Amino acid sequence: MKEYNSPSAETMSSGHVLDSPADNLTEQVEGDSRKQELPAVPDMDPSEDTGFTVKIQAPGTEPTDFQVSPLAMVQEIKQVLMDREETCCRTCFSLQLNGVTLDNFTHLRSIPGLQEGSILRVVEEPYTFREVRIHLRHIRDLLKSLDLTDGYNGVEGSSPSFLSCVTEECLEENSKPKRKGEGLKQMSCSPPDHILPGSKERLLVPLLPHTNSGKSSGCLKVLTMSSWNPPPGNRKMHGDLMYLNVVTMEDRHFSITASSRGFYVNQSTTSSFNPKPANPSVLSHALLDLLGHISPVFKKNFSALLKRRGSTHPFERIATPFQVFSWTAPALDHTMDCVRAEDVISFRLGYEEHVPALARDWNEELQTTRELPKKTVTDRLMRDRAVFKANSDFVSTATRGAMAVVDGNVMPINPSEEPRQQMFIWSNIFFSLGFDVRDQYRDLGGEAAAHAAPLLDLNGVRAYWAVDQEGLFLIGTVVIDYSGYRVTAQTIVPGILERHQEQSVVYGSIDFGKTVVSDDRYLELLDKPSKKLRVQRHLVLNKDDTAVELCSSVEHKGIVGNDGRRYILDLLFTFPPDLNFLPVEGEDLDPVCPHLGFPKLHPHRLVCLRQELIDAFVEQRYQVFMENISKSTEHDREIAKAVGTSAIKSDPITTPQLPSTTVTPQDQDTEHHSLKNVPVNNIQQGSSIKHVFSSLGDAFDIHFNPNVFCAGVRFPKESTEDIQKQKQQLKEAAVFLISNQIPAFMKSCLAHTSMPTDGVTLTEALHQHGINIRYLGTVLEYTEKIPQKERLDHVYRIALCELITRCAKHLFKTYLLAVEPSALSASVSHFLNCFLGSFADAGVIQQNDKLASRRRSRRRRSRASVGGAVTSWSYLTPTDLWGAIRAEAQEYFHYSLPCGSIEEAVDKCRLQRITLLREIAIKTGFQILLREYQFDSEDKTVFTEDDILNIFPVVKHISPRSSDALYLLRCGQSRVQQGCLKEGCELINQALGLFTNVYGALHQDVCICLRLLGRIHYILGDYSEALSHQQRAVLISERVLGLEHPNTIQEYKHLGLYCFAGGQSVTALRLLYRARYLMLLVCGDDHPEMALLDSKIGLVLHSMMACDLSLKFLEDALVLTSKYQGPSSLKLAQSHHLLAKVHESKGDFRAALTHEKERYGIYRKQVGEAHEKTQESSEYLKHLTHQAVILQKTMNWIYKTGSDTNIPPFNLNSPSRVWIMEQLNLITGIVLIPLSNRDLEKLRTDAQKTSQLTRNDVQSVEDLQGAV
């Protein structure tokens, strides 16, 4: 079992970093007491985490020093020893102190007598069957430690990383500046042709660079379990535990006995059983020692493998907390693997999970970790760590269970029902399929509603989880899309399966609001969440006309489990409905909505506003409220007296005491109590003020009633006025979304504060503005009508690509349900041919073995019953598919697609087929073969069934985060922005420590910290530290987010900048070329971010005097800058200047003068003649003119005399590194702050104190994965 959370993980990873505002860190930290407590961090004793040194002595070796943390457990020390080259062959051992065996799960601080300099002895222990299995797994991991197969197959938390392959050198060891020109000797500056500006090739193969380390020299041909297992009774009496078969590289066959004492070669063969030791008999406690004894080739190659393994960065090997799946992979050799085979039998089919003693009670684990104390920072740290670990393990198990359910490997609990209605329990997890069973969603949209409901429920769980209300419990929920099915995995509330639903529910309704029950304890528990989530406390009528009080949707169900805990379930209506997509008879929206075509019909009625929209709406209303108050005169004085402020004679009330820019919606419950007693009628503003007040009427406290537009829900007559106000409030929120938030999103794209690169980043940007993805068609219409349409070309293409691939995904889901398991590869390839291919006759060429069978599997019957005829999918044509995509775009997104075929999408809309392929693969989960696809081939299909390698689950789940660490990170960012670099660096270092302690080394939040610290060290001129931190950030982003994720591209660009600053020009070019290739693959070359990247590449090439190549990139940057920044932009002036400098270096002064004149004209127009930039440009023009005159005179002399012997050589100076760095920083938006060496050294020392341990111990983080 992998482990990535460790108390000593913080100290053993020397990673430390700063972030840009683009990073989505919007979570709110609760409680003023927390805010006062954290800046000083923490209330834990500093001595508790002060590292100390002990000595470890393994058998036959001298004691070695080992630095540990008091918070570490003994098991974690053992894991580190199992990874070290000297001791990696051992797994079955104990640690002893003064002859006393230490318990594996004891914290070091709890061990009496353990102190600085103590000697811990490694003592070999007898094997058990379980220990032998652990030993074999460890050996398998060592032998495959350089193999990327597990990463491509998406198992064991593995995922590929190619930073080391791109750089081809250790960044940290080469951070010293090199002599000018040294880089040119190492590598040509020219990139591959497909990376050059103007290239139309979009190659796929370079995404996974070839690496020699991935194919190591073979150590063994075969290591499998013997068919003689299990040992007979008489051999068990001799200590035999297991038998193994080994084939060495020398082609020698051995049968090995694993006994309680160790491993030895026996005399058995494939046909005869003779368990006696072979001659000569050698007993080894470690199997690796025995293999090295019987095979010289193994000994040699394994030693070389360990050395290569030791040279890789630990972050390349550590398991990720959540599995990352690769959408493309090379052709992989399928080798014999006994551990993999055993996993399939014992785990994938769930045999062990069916044994009660071995199955984990996931509900109990998740609830117990949430109940851990959280009074102090230490308590919260341990709690966050436990919660994250339990949740990640649950997600992993739920994913495997969902795949087993879809594959037909789990028996349903209601086998007599139709396959669509079947439910499953596996490993104490309840699984249900996303179909409308028993017409539960008939009035809400049928199958479309049933498909959408699990995600809405998950969003509700996420919202209540973030509130973290003590005493209110949520069930673990994971939504998995796999092979066309949507599966919901949930933990089981104790006792819920033993009772009827009517008997279980003590709060809420089970019949859509007809019968409603309430509970005082639930009302108390839901009071805080309702305030945080802006839910109005209100009354509804029961079927007997009695009023029942609720503070949630009627669909929320409160159930008291047999464990006494109070659970809240069915949270799909947590947020209020979106009236723009929910037409209600008799209810009219604001005139703005009909003008824009709203309300619109949606395939289902489960349409809710996003929490970000609610927060933005409340904040905007609060700003309007404060602005109107500040405009009044005499009444302002009354209000000021009422809120306890001093009277103001003539000046209007200002807002510093209640600043709208810093007040968050969560704070308003406390901030606005001071206005509570001010009667609304005393404010003579009219409707412009009154409409921003809540239903309370006398306080600014906006809340929404999620039940006001629910069919079947009735309200008391005395609440009629309040209900009308609540309806009006929801209408205003709907108007606010389309009249405020969508235009705000467009403005942010025009200002480049939002710069989406692919579908994921576009979705995140929309969500940050509170815009649901169903508004994608509206967003596209806005971009088509906006005056600056050309400047939003990149947003239009990305949004159009996202809309098309989402429509294709909707169709693919239904399409796949009609496919039998044996035809999955053929059907997926056929779908892709219809979607992306130009071959008119995209017929099905199925090459699989045609085996006759009289029986169909149950799962096969299931698919046929859902989708119709088994071969119906084969009749799909490109025309049919694109027609269905256009129809889906109109029905779901209310947008008329401008393209009706892939050719039109490419030629007319300028979309890339490789980008469409990537997006659809990521969204649906299939994996394709890494090769170059001839998309425009008109005489054969693009894809064959051999190109479809696998299909992976697409998993959605909550991601618990450390609130303390998040708050420290924000504090650190704030201090840095205020110029307090030292304090900011310390706070971010502390945040990094907490993040690593909670999540382990590989997590997006850790990546953010590393990036920030890298940026700080770069600003301070400490390039080696900047490189160290940024290298880790790149590795984490590749492993956790994906090789071509937009965040990974950004990390590559930062690392390239730091490499150049550190004197590694060649490595910087490699990194920037890699970033450009990934950008081309993800979104193409027509993107504002590409202008910045090309400018950086051009500058680096200019520094290496590769002027012709530099011009190609800088000219491309100029075109893009002109398009996306405008013809009078100062950034365009900068681009002209860069080109002028390169032309000057080439001696082409005419071209240099042309570009510099453009720069001068822009500066003179924008900032005036007297500005220093205008004067600088003027002086440079004079210099260029002078140089041009000298050159012309020289050329005239040569033409006149015909000889150049007396002409001194014309000196074309290369640009200085200082100037190049200034321009790179200007493009990146970095301002350097000079710091003395003494200040730098002090900053480093403080950072080292925070991290506790040295960088040399970072490799030990990998070994923390196995500690449980």
> How far apart are the C-alpha atoms of 271 and 252, rounded to whole Å?
16
Other beta carbons less than 10 A from residue 1213's beta carbon: 8
Question: Nearest Cα to 1112, choosing from 207, 204, 166, 193?
Answer: 193
> What was the pLDDT predicted at 980?
87
> What was the pLDDT predicted at 639?
54
CATH number, domain 1108-1228: 1.25.40.10
Measure Cα distances from 1251 to 11, 357, 993, 1254 in Å: 5, 41, 7, 8
Cα-Cα-Cα-Cα dihedral sign, residues 1051, 1054, 1056, 1058: negative
Average pLDDT, the chain: 83
> What was the pLDDT predicted at 937?
84
* Residue 989 structure tokens: 């270092």
pLDDT of 469 > 60? The answer is yes
- Return the higher-pLDDT residue of 534 and 43: 534
Read off the pLDDT of residues 256-269 as tens digits, 9 standing for 90 and up.
999 999 999 999 99
> What was the pLDDT predicted at 1267?
32
- The DSSP bridge partners found for residue 763 are none
In Å, how far from its chain's centre is CA 486?
21
- According to DSSP, the β-strands at 547-550 and 538-541 are antiparallel
pLDDT of 804 > 90? The answer is yes
In our burial notation (b when 16+ CB lie closer than 10 A, e otherwise), range 824-847 reads: bbbbbbbbbbbbbbbbeebebebe
> What was the pLDDT predicted at 1205?
54
Query: Is the backbone peptide bond immediately before 314 cis, with ω within 30 degrees of 0?
Result: no
Q: Are 529 and 535 in contact (CB under 8 A)?
A: yes
> Which contacts qualify for 1120-1129: CB closer than 8 Å, 24 or more apart?
1120/1086, 1120/1087, 1120/1088, 1120/1090, 1120/1091, 1120/1094, 1121/1091, 1123/790, 1123/791, 1123/793, 1124/752, 1124/791, 1124/794, 1124/1088, 1124/1091, 1125/1088, 1125/1091, 1126/791, 1128/1162, 1128/1165, 1128/1166, 1129/1162
Q: Are 1018 and 1057 in contact (CB under 8 A)?
A: yes
- Return the higher-pLDDT residue of 309 and 1254: 309
* Residue 755 structure tokens: 């710069």
Share of the chain above pLDDT 90, in %: 61
pLDDT of 1191 > 60? The answer is yes
The amino acid occupying position 1154 is T
- According to DSSP, the β-strands at 472-473 and 566-569 are parallel
pLDDT of 27 > 80? The answer is no
Cα-Cα-Cα-Cα dihedral sign, residues 402, 407, 409, 415: positive
pLDDT bin (cut points 50, 70, 90) of residue 210 is: confident
> What was the pLDDT predicted at 15?
33
Query: Residue range 615-633: average pLDDT?
Result: 83
> What was the pLDDT predicted at 1120?
97
**347: DSSP letter:** I
The structural domains of the chain, with segments of one domain joined by +, span 360-494, 500-556, 581-714+731-745, 787-848+856-954, 1108-1228
- Residue 478 — φ and ψ, nearest 5°? -135, 135
* Residue 1099 structure tokens: 């500058």
Radius of gyration of the chain (CA): 33
Query: Residue range 577-594: average pLDDT?
Result: 88
> What was the pLDDT predicted at 1245?
62
**Three-state DSSP class for residue 329:** strand
* Residue 1128 structure tokens: 């009078």
pLDDT of 482 > 80? The answer is yes
> What was the pLDDT predicted at 364?
96
> How far apart are the C-alpha atoms of 633 and 648, rounded to whole Å?
9
> What was the pLDDT predicted at 1225?
94
- Residue 552 — φ and ψ, nearest 5°? -165, 180
Q: Are 552 and 719 in contact (CB under 8 A)?
A: no
Helices (H), ranges, 187-231: none
Q: Which of 17-21, 249-253, 631-635 has the highest mean pLDDT?
A: 249-253
Read off the pLDDT of residues 691-723 as tens digits, 9 standing for 90 and up.
444 433 445 778 999 999 888 889 999 988 999
pLDDT bin (cut points 50, 70, 90) of residue 829 is: very high
**1182: DSSP letter:** H
Measure Cα distances from 656 to 626, 647, 651, 671, 1164 in Å: 11, 15, 14, 13, 38
Helices (H), ranges, 703-741: 720-736
Other beta carbons less than 10 A from residue 1042's beta carbon: 19
At residue 118's C-alpha, the angle toward residues 113 and 119, to 5°, is 120
Question: Nearest Cα to 701, choosing from 665, 730, 725?
Answer: 665
pLDDT of 636 > 90? The answer is no
Query: Residue range 553-559: average pLDDT?
Result: 93
From 173-182, 977-986, 1017-1026, the region with the lowest mean pLDDT: 173-182
Read off the pLDDT of residues 992-1027 as tens digits, 9 standing for 90 and up.
999 998 999 999 999 999 999 999 999 988 999 999
CA dihedral 43→44→47→53, nearest 10 degrees, is -140
Question: Nearest Cα to 822, choosing from 780, 883, 884, 864?
Answer: 864
Q: Tokens 């979607």 — which residue?
A: 835
> How far apart are the C-alpha atoms of 858 and 850, rounded to whole Å?
19
> What was the pLDDT predicted at 1244?
58
For 594, counting Cβ atoms within 10 Å of its Cβ (0-12 exposed, 13-18 middle, 19+ buried), the class is exposed
Query: Residue range 1040-1068: average pLDDT?
Result: 96
> What was the pLDDT predicted at 258?
96
> What was the pLDDT predicted at 350?
42
> What was the pLDDT predicted at 104?
87
pLDDT bin (cut points 50, 70, 90) of residue 576 is: very high
Read off the pLDDT of residues 1113-1148 as tens digits, 9 standing for 90 and up.
999 999 999 999 999 999 999 999 999 999 999 989
Query: Residue range 360-385: average pLDDT?
Result: 93
- The DSSP bridge partners found for residue 589 are none
- Return the higher-pLDDT residue of 1249 and 1031: 1031
Read off the pLDDT of residues 908-939 as tens digits, 9 standing for 90 and up.
999 999 999 999 999 999 999 999 999 988 88
> What was the pLDDT predicted at 711?
83
**Three-state DSSP class for residue 539:** strand
pLDDT of 653 > 50? The answer is no
Other beta carbons less than 10 A from residue 523's beta carbon: 17
Query: Is the backbone peptide bond immediately before 280 cis, with ω within 30 degrees of 0?
Result: yes
pLDDT bin (cut points 50, 70, 90) of residue 120 is: very high
Other beta carbons less than 10 A from residue 112's beta carbon: 8
pLDDT of 679 > 80? The answer is no
